[in-house]
Structure 1
């Protein structure tokens, strides 16, 4: 599905506040509430909008430390095997295969550095993991909501 400027503006408004009413979104994008509803229904039906959720501060849940961990795997470890293994860890909040020397990059959130260390030790014990390389996040410089590009409406169209 191709998104026009109004679709992108509606998505941006909903990313900012998924609880906004159709009338409130309409005020932002210049449409009536019923027109916004029709577009949101179409966006949902097409899969462009996959759902609505609450964004919760990790700090509110006690997850004040985060790290990125590169996984170096033996042989030709399948991405599905990596995904299955790391999905067991609630501390792994993101995982991706990547280019470069490492096979995968994990994003970990934990209560403190010791907690990060324990998680890395458990992940490193997986049979396919040869070694890990980690970096602790000191401060977040940009933290855009997932699912939308920052300033997307200014960059596209």
Structure 2
């Protein structure tokens, strides 16, 4: 797949009645993608299946949010998050994601399911963009990526503590 794509600065959208759906295996490789996902990401089904979900990762998306996401999922919990993604042509699109673990008959996690809806524009503009810019700045200031991510994660936890909210409370307050 293409890497190092340049960004166009053009934002894509999808109809409010549509839902973007993907499923992945335990390693985050795409095992299912609906047509809405394929259309907005500029991928064919053949290009998407088997690829890491990070194929659509936008460089403005803080890594610490994905750490939080994986912490939730690996503990068997669902998570809601605002995410900026990148289409294959360099366009971007915002989503309000609901990601859940998928369980097998034995109760063990066998993969993940993500449904994404059109996000609240006011939440993105007033809270998410400034927060993500701050977190990304912290991440990129460190010379070591893991240290930067850990510092940004800690900064997020401090922000939530100062607000006297859990992450879930914060997201649903927007």
Give the TM-score of the pair, scaled to structure 1: 0.26
**Bigger radius of gyration:** 1
